[in-house]
Structure 1
Amino acid sequence: MKQLKIQLLLFFISFTIFAQSETDYSRKLNHSVSGEKVYLDKDVDIKPKLIYGENGMYRFMSRNFKFPKNEALVPKIICSFIVETDGTITDIKILNNIPENFSKEAIRVMIKFDEPWYPAVKDNKQVRCQYILPIIIDRI
C-alpha cells in the first residue's frame, strides 16, 4: 500500500512538472517578425488549426524527418511558429535544448510542410498567432 502511494505521488509530481514546462514555453517566446501584434493561443477567440487536421501534418513529418546520424535520440522537440492571417506559417523556432542537427531537421521539415492553416480569430478579425507544436519522436 505504501509503495502504491509513493508511485502515485511520483506520477503527480512528474505530471505537474510536465504541465509547468509546457506552460513556460508559451511565455518564453518573443516573435517580432514585423510590427503587427502576435497573439498567444490562449488570448484568441478561435485558435489556429490546420485545414485538413493535425494527423496529416504528423504523417508528413514522420515520412520526411531524417534522423541525424550518430546522435542520441531526442524524445521531444518543441516547435513554435506564427500562423499568419493568410494561413501560412513563419518564424519557426525550436524551444527546447536539443542537438543542433535535430533542430535544423525539424525546421527543414516544417518549412517543407505547406498545408494551409485556418488563422486565429480575435474580436471577429483574423490575427497572427503563436502556435506551439510538440513533436514526440518514437523511433522504433
Structure 2
Amino acid sequence: MKKAIMNTMIILFALAMCVGCGQSSEQKEDSVPTDVAKEKEQVQVQAEDEDTLENGEQVFRVVEVMPKFPGGDAELLKFIAKNVKYPQESQDKGEQGRVICSFVVTKDGTLTNYKVLRGISPALDQEAVRVLQMMPRWTPGTQKGEPVAVKYTVPITFKLQ
C-alpha cells in the first residue's frame, strides 16, 4: 500500500514538473527581445556558410561513398603514428590527450580547411595540423556517382609513455 502511494506521489510530482516547465518555456519564448532573435538568425547563416568552400563548392558532411585515405583507415592510422612528433615542450609539461581536427577532402582529393575542433595546447594542436597537412591526396567522396567535397574529422591522440 505504501509503495502504491509513493509511486502515485512520484508520478504526480513528475507531471507537475512537466506542466510547470512547459508553461515557463512558453513565457520565455514570448519575452525574447528582437535583438536576440536577430542574433540567432545571424548565427544560423554563419553556420551555413561553413558548408561551402571559397570557390563556392558545396561541402557535404555525409555522402554515399565517404573519402578514403590511400590504403584505407589502417594506413591512415599508420601514417599519423609514423609522422607525429611529440613536441618537447608538451612532454615537459606532461600534456597529453586527444586533438580533434577536421578538414575538407575536395573533389580532386586534395585536403583543405584544416581546423582544430577540440584541442589540448597550442603546441599539440599545431603538431596535429602539421601531420594532417602532410597527408597525400585522398580518394574523394562521391554523391550520386559524382565526386564532391566532404568534411572529414580525425582524432589524433597524444599519450606520454
TM over 0.5: yes
- The residue that corresponds to 2:68 in the other structure is 49
Structure 1 ranges of 4+ moved more than 3 A: none
- Match runs of 1:1-140 below 5 Å: 30=50, 32-34=52-54, 35-41=56-62, 44-71=63-90, 72-114=94-136, 116-140=137-161
Map Cα deviations across residues 10-56 of structure 1 (whole Å, 9 max, x no partner): xxxxxxxxxxxxxxxxx8x9354321110102xx1111112311222
Does the Cα contact within 8 Å between 1:31 and 1:91 map onto a contact in 2? no
- Larger helix fraction of residues: 2
Does the Cα contact within 8 Å between 2:51 and 2:58 map onto a contact in 1? no
Map Cα deviations across residues 91-121 of structure 1 (whole Å, 9 max, x no partner): 111110321111111111111121x322111
Residue segments in structure 1 that go unaligned for 5+ positions in a row: 1-26
TM score, norm. by length of structure 2: 0.61
3-state secondary structure, aligned to 1:50 = coil
Quick one: distance in 2 between partners of 1:135 and 1:98?
11
TM score, norm. by length of structure 1: 0.69
- Give the greater-gyration-radius structure (CA): 2
Quick one: distance in 2 between partners of 1:127 and 1:81?
14
Quick one: distance in 2 between partners of 1:68 and 1:33?
32
Percent identity, please. Answer: 30
Number of residue equivalences? 111
1:32 to 1:102, Cα distance in 2 relative to 1, 3 A: farther
Residue segments in structure 2 that go unaligned for 5+ positions in a row: 1-46
Q: Report the more deviating stretch, 120-129 or 32-41.
A: 32-41
Quick one: distance in 2 between partners of 1:100 and 1:137?
13
1:123 to 1:134, Cα distance in 2 relative to 1, 3 A: same
Report which structure shows greater RCO (CA 8 Å, sep ≥6). Answer: 1
- The residue that corresponds to 1:7 in the other structure is none
